[in-house]
Chain A
Amino acid sequence: MATTNSWLLRPFQERSTQVFLGVLFTAVIVVSLLHLFMPQDSALHVSAYTVTLLGKYLCYALLAVAVDLVWGYLGILSLGHGAFFGLGGYAMGMYLMRQIGDRGTYGDPVLPDFMVFLNWDELPWYWHGFDMAWFAFIMVLLAPGLLALVFGFLAFRSRVTGVYLSIITQALTFALMLAFFRNEMGFGGNNGLTDFRDILGFNLRTDATRLGLFIATGIALAIGYVICRAIVNSKLGRVSIACRDAEARTRFLGYRVERVQLFVFVVSAMLAGVAGALYVPQVGIINPSEFSPLFSIEIVVWVALGGRATLYGAVIGAILVNYAKTVFTGIMPDAWLFALGGLFVLVTVFLPRGIAGLLQKRRKTKTDDDTPAGQEATA
């Protein structure tokens, strides 16, 4: 028991984790307080809209942490993490769909609206059980976990690595997107699942529920971050870093590389699933566009901008890019893709270690030498 405690507790002894958790909790608490106690007309008041928006950013941050775990510490560039995010989201969406009950447009007590619309007589077998919250929440972990397990088992066993792996993960999410677009799949086709009402008995349209979801997301991000830290610091984490840097050598040293890869990959997929599940009630819709290859590759650029193999960098990157996206699409929608494309190029060419790399370098140069950090980062 003592050993279990020690690897679980070790992250809390790290300075970076302490700082990260401190900042995260302070931010969540401050936002909540400003939302609750500031008068509506005050400049400091945080509206329910902003709370939900921030909640969405935190979901993305959790997703980015999941991607950083596999990319930064395992060396697997997954271009298909949107698939796991989407599956978690659909599991949650199915639960929320069943909670609507007979309040839908067609008033059918069991069948969701789109099934009535398609003249279906009964629920498909895979929709059963989603009226129970515990079952749905298990599926949020299980569905992406299982997909990652099967996919990862096949891929790692036959030692598909590097670019090949990236491309087939992209094909995976592309195939899922095409599949979910089909009405016959029973997931609402093009329109996806939407028009949600309740979660666990709370009305989704009230500000209190929204704030609750925001806080829950903050807690989930903290837990996810700590789990990743714990994995990275454990012996397993060391082996996974060894796999990243010299896969063949690690194998020759007697480690079962594919098992390490599989474990980390599945954990990462589950985290992505949780992020998706928290995302859906806040955004109010889940549709196949979450599976689009573009979204998956966007996640990677959040991590790249923040700095890979740092975890907190992923969080910074996700929040920054998505904030920029909100601002850009608001004022000049046309320019967003230019900005995003430029970001891809600039980050990879000039900022290989991301913002976290800049921060680390600055700290180092402060102690060692007084060279300006900016110049060195671009050099």
Chain B
Amino acid sequence: MGIIRSLSQLLLVCCLLLPAVSVAQVEDSEAQQLLTALADSSFAEKKQVVNRIADSGDDRARGWLESFAANKLARIKSRGQFVIVLENRGRDWTVESALTRENLGEISRRDLDTIRVNNALRTELESILSVIDLKSPDEANRLTAARALKGSVDATLAERLPELIEAEQSEPVSDSLTEALAIYKVEEQGDITAVATLSGSLNSEARAALQQAMRSDDPALVEAAAKAMDSIEQKLKLNRAAETLYFGLSLGSVLVLAAIGLAITFGVMGVINMAHGELIMLGAYTTWGMQQLLPGQPGLALILSIPAGFLVAALAGIAIERTVIQHLKGRPLETLLATFGVSLILQQLVRTVISPLNRTVITPEWMSGSVMINEALSLTLNRMYVIGFALVVFASLMLIMRKTRLGLEVRAVTQNRAMARSMGIKATKVDIMTFALGSGVAGLAGVALSQITNVGPNLGQSYIIDSFMVVVFGGVGNLWGTLVAGLTLGTINQLLEPWAGAVLAKIIVLVFIILFIQKRPKGLFPQKGRAAEG
């Protein structure tokens, strides 16, 4: 017995020490007293006790009330100690101490006395819990609570909301609360003044409230609600337009990424590389391979795949240039056929060596999810990264072509090969470097594409025609043209999609380009001057 006593004394000491750690806690004796009052009072009195607990400012109060509402606050009959039930299935329940949160293991159901709650009290508790959240010192917590309130305000909470709004320092929180209150007023009381507050709100609960108001008997209310609805529709339309534009830009930047390497090999060098799509595919498979090599670290693997994808595709490009393309100089149609053959071989190689099925590439955590702009518009993160990546790749290519020795030599060789050679430029070397650069960029495109589409042997095929379209539409030999053309085509495609469906939108874009090329055979931005005559 002595041991048990000394142990319980030790426990007591521990319990006494604990409150000193956290400031926002009442003395344990007081907490014990409050909970005892809760357990022992009648339902009518319980309401007041609950309010006292809520007002105590103790940061454990929320947990107590929550478990109380869920029938999970209990007292151990023998000791009078309050516990929160974690697991209430079977005969023995797992509990933890309500005061210290210490896990007390399993206790027989019969030794526990659950504090009883009724439905009226439960409703009361909901708004009290909301109020507790709204009083939280952390602004983010308050904002989440305020947003969650929209459409779920009840009479008790509605009474307390004005003072909370008054006391609120942060503007987004008080705006959210005002809106929540207005939704309540419109829904329950048909309050015309509140209708005005809702005008322009993007919340779906607000719309539901207004729709309900539009069905009411009061003509003034109906008119006001209809007006508010109109302004909401306007705003929603704008948001949808913004969303379409975002999708368009993201599709466009995918097209730019896929086409920009081609803009170098086809546009600048004049080599038709039908295996370009398969170089993209190699980049995507490099990402997959990297993730296989580094299991559990998809983010690191993805970042490493950027240089790796570039290298793999560039080496493959060099191999294609050396074995096939250099023998077919000046015969563009034959180059087209031969590189098409290469693309078939590469596809089948992947099918045979890896698998004919799609491979899954994991999206790292920092790339998944979305950014919420407002309640009607949220932008997915991975697409945002792709847009950024496309712009970075484009900018660096621009720099290489304009500011480096290699870029200068490439432009010299393409404009006048003989003259460039007589100035001491090694034309063959420049050919290889340019082709490697274009191919490497295709590999980069593949790394990016692996994040937003399936990685399979047909990945390249689905992009090759689009890529050529973008380059031809933008004007051969013009990197800016490729950027503008890619973004334009992507946006047009997305604009048409809701109206015509995905497949028809694609057909319309293809027909549009075919007709456009008839009108302007040299693309949007034709080359001028000497470079144009090839």
Are A301 and B337 within 8 A (Cβ)? yes
Cβ distance B322 to chain A, nearest Cβ, rounded Å: 12
Interface size class of B (residues with CB under 8 A): 35 or more
Q: Which residues in B have their C-beta under 8 angstroms from that of A174?
A: 465, 510
B505 CB to closest chain A CB (Å) equals: 10
Contact call B469/A171, Cβ cutoff below 8 A = yes
Assembled-state Cα–Cα distance A345/B336 (Å): 10
Q: Across the interface, do B338 and A348 meet the contact criterion of CB distance under 8 Å?
A: yes
Of residues 328 to 371 in A, which have CB atoms within 8 Å of B's CB atoms? 334, 337-338, 340-345, 347-349, 352
Closest to B324 in A: A345
Q: A77-B333, A345-B324 are in contact. Are A154 and B515 (CB under 8 A)?
A: yes
With both beta carbons as reference points, the residue of chain A lying nearest to B515 in the complex is identified as A154
Partner of A341 from the list B328, B345, B352, B472 (CB cut-off 8 Å) is: B345
Q: Distance (Å) between the CB of A244 and the closest chain B CB? A: 12
Report if B30 contacts A (CB, 8 A).
no
* Residue B503 interfacial (CB < 8 Å): yes
Provide the bound-state CA to CA distance between A301 and B340, in Å.
10
Q: Which B residue's beta carbon lies closest to that of A182?
A: B503
Contact A342 B341 (CB under 8 A): yes
Q: How far is the CB of A156 from chain B (nearest CB, A)?
A: 10
Task: Give the complex CA separation of A345 and B335 in angstroms.
Answer: 9
CB–CB A178/B352 < 8 A: no
- Chain B residues contacting A347 (CB-CB under 8 Å) are 337
Asked if B514 is at the interface (CB within 8 A of a chain A CB), the reply is yes
Contact of B334 among A162, A164, A348 (CB under 8 A): A348
Task: Flag whether B347 is at the interface (Cβ < 8 A).
Answer: yes
Annotate B333-356 by CB proximity to A: 1 below 8 A, 0 otherwise.
Answer: 111111011111101110110000
- At the interface, is chain A mostly helix, strand, loop or mixed? helix
Whether the Cβ atoms of B472 and A167 lie closer than 8 Å is yes
Interface stretch, picked from B126-134, B213-221, B517-525, is B517-525
Given contacts A293-B465, A341-B341, A348-B328, contact A179 B507 (CB under 8 A): yes
CA distance A182 to B504 in the complex (A): 9
Point out the residue from A166, A293, A343, A352 that lies within 8 Å of B341, measured CB to CB: A343
- A337 near B344 with CB under 8 A, answer yes
Complex contact B348–A171 (CB within 8 A):
no
B506 within 8 A of A: yes
Query: A168 contacts B327, CB within 8 Å?
Result: no
Q: A170 near B: Cβ within 8 Å?
A: yes
Instruction: Decide yes or no: A337 and B506 within 8 Å by CB, A171-B514, A304-B337, A349-B324 being known contacts.
Output: no
Smallest distance from the beta carbon of B8 to chain A beta carbons, Å? 76
Q: How far is the CA of A160 from the CA of B476 in the complex (A)?
A: 14
A220 in the interface, Cβ–Cβ < 8 Å? no
B272 within 8 Å of A (CB atoms): yes
Q: What is the CA–CA distance of A37 and B324 in the complex, to the nearest angstrom?
A: 50
Please provide the chain A residues from 156 to 181 with a CB less than 8 Å away from any CB of chain B in the complex: 157-160, 162-164, 166-168, 170-172, 174-175, 178-179, 181
Flag if B348 contacts A338 (CB, 8 Å): yes
- List residues of chain B with CB within 8 A of the CB of A166: 333, 336
Using known A-B contacts A174-B465, A293-B465, determine if residue A341 contacts B513 with beta carbons closer than 8 Å: no
In contact, A168 and B517 (Cβ under 8 angstroms): yes
Query: Measured between C-beta atoms, what is the minimum distance from B90 to chain A in Å?
Result: 55
Look across to chain A and name the residue whose beta carbon is closest to the beta carbon of B476: A164
- State how many angstroms separate the Cβ of A378 from the closest Cβ of chain B: 12
Residue of chain B at shortest CB distance from A161: B521
Q: Does B82 contact A (CB under 8 A)?
A: no
B511 at the A interface (CB under 8 A): yes
Excluding A160-B518, A337-B345, A341-B340, 9 further A-B contacts by CB distance (< 8 Å) are A154-B515, A159-B521, A166-B336, A171-B465, A171-B514, A338-B345, A342-B341, A344-B340, A352-B331
